[in-house]
């Protein structure tokens, strides 16, 4: 796995520059992948989905879950990187639903 500090820097850069990515984890992941591939002269949007999902390690792009965890950490630490009010409301509601689901036997 790539160094999490390196991934964190890329996630933070995307969150700072792209307001849409603050509200949508899929958009964030797409932008982070593009950022990682940029130095190789590649674009994630030009690749088949299967290639991105199965070859992410060799391509040098981070795991989807790592990007999401880092986003949550950064948004908790830096309010200016948070999503809009509606997105916060939806995420809070989804968290409640998941907590209820996780507690079930």
**Taking residues 43-65, what's their average pLDDT?**
95
The SS3 assignment for 12 reads helix
What integer best gives the mean pLDDT of the chain? 92
Range of the domain at 26: 4-103
Which pair of tokens denotes residue 83? 């999503």
Quick check: 2 pLDDT over 90? no
Task: Report the alpha-carbon distance of residue 32 to residue 97 in Å, rounded.
Answer: 28
pLDDT in tens, 66-75: 999 999 999 9
Among 2, 71, 75, which Cα is nearest to 37's?
2
Query: What is this structure's pTM?
Result: 0.84
Q: State how many domains the chain has.
A: 1
């Amino acid at each position: 796995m790539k160094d999490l500090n390196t991934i964190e820097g890329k996630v933070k850069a995307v969150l700072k520059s792209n307001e849409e990515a603050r509200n949508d984890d899929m958009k964030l992941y797409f932008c982070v992948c593009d950022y990682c591939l940029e130095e190789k002269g590649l674009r994630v949007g030009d690749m088949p989905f299967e290639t991105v999902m199965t070859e992410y390690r060799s391509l040098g792009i981070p795991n989807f879950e790592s990007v999401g965890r880092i986003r949550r950490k950064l948004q908790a630490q830096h309010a200016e990187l948070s999503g809009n009010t509606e997105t916060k409301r939806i995420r809070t509601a989804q968290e409640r639903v998941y907590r209820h689901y996780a507690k079930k036997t």
